[in-house]
């Protein structure tokens, strides 16, 4: 009888009445449709586990960081220290670790298997404090979701901006390198310059061939020292000299030692660098625009499906249930002890 009396005394006199306030929330990503777990189960699919956002929010709600904020705003430890329960209750002098463990026993958050929403349950000694704590949890959870979402968006935008700055620097350097090359060699484009020289050489070689043909024809009926033949020979010599000079410009300059084909290779390399820088810059601009649009789409919002309500009565602890349960255990233990004692007496007889 004594254990039963002690249990009844604890449940009636020491165990504080606890009021429960509940709320249901959903972390939704903008522009993304979500299907409830119940609908998936109805179609024959297994319900999906909690998302990363839900897991982060669950960890945040029961985190020491949030508990410190709530304790400063609402006096959580002071409230939970008001009970007379010196066995399972919380005292003002208890350690911070005990405070966190006690808080996590009275504030729970987890997925609802029927709706797929996150269910928050808060237990407190007064209905007003229970509701105030639940509302504070929702407020801080919404701020946490918004801040985390905005931080990710800002980081993506900053990365895109950094890429734009880097590509702009590359583009500027490539333009300056190409301009310096053109100014140094007095060439706009070695390729076009080379094409022009090849055209000139071809025309000169054609004219030289005609002049040599005229010389051969003149020598057939004139003396070798005839004025007409001498003029043609002088013209052919001048043409040959000009052709050699133009070919020298193509294959290399005697004074600088630079060849046009080598200059063309350098120019093409610089032109490729410039085109690459332009492409990278255009890609960076496109990536920035895409990240800007994507950041707006991926912003997450906290939707409150069921807001906290003021509790009308204390539902915990279930005194009758726990008293009957412990009484049953006591009777079972008493019966087992009686059987052991009776069995021992029989063996002694």
In this structure, are 36 and 2 located in the same domain?
Answer: no
Look at residue 37 in the predicted model and tell me its pLDDT. Answer: 45
The whole domain housing 130 covers: 13-155+299-314
Structure tokens at 308: 């906290």
In this structure, are 18 and 135 located in the same domain?
Answer: yes
Beta bridge partners of 107: 122
In this structure, are 197 and 228 located in the same domain?
Answer: yes
CA distance 284 to 246: 45
In this structure, are 37 and 106 located in the same domain?
Answer: yes
Residue pointed to by tokens 């449940």: 11
Residue pointed to by tokens 């020598």: 219
- Distances, alpha carbon 100 to alpha carbons 75, 94, 121, 153, 329, in Å: 14, 10, 16, 32, 31
Listed residue (291, 200, 279) closest to 239, CA to CA: 200
pLDDT digits (tens, 9 = 90+) for 252-294: 543 444 566 677 778 888 888 889 999 988 988 888 887 777 6
Look at residue 180 in the predicted model and tell me its pLDDT. Answer: 86
What three-state secondary structure class fits 258?
coil
CA distance 248 to 209: 20
In this structure, are 86 and 211 located in the same domain?
Answer: no
In this structure, are 145 and 169 located in the same domain?
Answer: no
- Distances, alpha carbon 210 to alpha carbons 19, 35, 204, 214, 215, in Å: 114, 88, 10, 6, 9
In this structure, are 327 and 284 located in the same domain?
Answer: no
Number of structural domains (the chain) is: 3
In this structure, are 269 and 217 located in the same domain?
Answer: yes
Q: State if pTM tops 0.75.
A: no
Residues of the chain with pLDDT under 70: 10-13, 30-50, 187-197, 222, 224, 249-261, 294-298, 322, 347-349
In this structure, are 255 and 167 located in the same domain?
Answer: yes
């Amino acid at each position: 009888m004594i254990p039963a009396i002690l249990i009844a005394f604890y449940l009636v006199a020491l165990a504080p009445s606890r009021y429960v306030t509940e709320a249901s929330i959903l972390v939704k990503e903008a522009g993304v449709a979500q299907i409830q777990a119940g609908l998936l189960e109805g179609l024959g699919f297994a319900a999906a586990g909690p998302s990363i956002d839900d897991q982060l929010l669950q960890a945040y709600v029961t985190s020491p960081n949030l508990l410190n904020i709530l304790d400063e705003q609402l006096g959580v430890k002071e409230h939970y220290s008001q009970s007379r329960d010196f066995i399972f209750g919380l005292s003002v002098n208890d350690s911070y670790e005990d405070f966190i463990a006690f808080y996590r026993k009275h504030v729970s958050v987890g997925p609802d298997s029927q709706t797929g929403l996150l269910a928050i349950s808060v237990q407190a000694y007064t209905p007003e404090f229970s509701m105030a704590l639940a509302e504070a949890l929702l407020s801080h959870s919404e701020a946490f979701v918004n801040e985390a979402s905005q931080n990710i968006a800002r980081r993506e935008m900053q990365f895109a901006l950094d890429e734009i700055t880097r590509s702009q620097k590359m583009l500027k350097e490539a333009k300056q390198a190409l301009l310096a090359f053109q100014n140094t060699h007095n060439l706009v484009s070695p390729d076009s310059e080379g094409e022009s020289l090849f055209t000139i050489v071809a025309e000169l070689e054609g004219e030289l061939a005609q002049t040599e043909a005229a010389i051969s024809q003149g020598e057939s009926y004139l003396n070798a020292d005839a004025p007409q033949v001498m003029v043609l020979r002088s013209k052919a010599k001048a043409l040959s000299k000009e052709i050699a000079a133009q070919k020298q410009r193509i294959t290399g300059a005697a004074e600088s030692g630079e060849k046009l084909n080598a200059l063309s290779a350098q120019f093409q390399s610089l032109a490729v660098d410039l085109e690459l820088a332009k492409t990278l810059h255009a890609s960076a601009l496109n990536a920035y625009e895409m990240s800007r649009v994507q950041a707006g789409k991926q912003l997450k919002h906290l939707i409150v499906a069921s807001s906290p309500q003021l509790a009308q009565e204390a539902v915990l602890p279930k005194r009758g249930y726990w008293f009957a349960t412990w009484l049953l255990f006591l009777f079972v233990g008493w019966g087992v002890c009686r059987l052991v004692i009776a069995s021992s007496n029989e063996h002694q007889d």
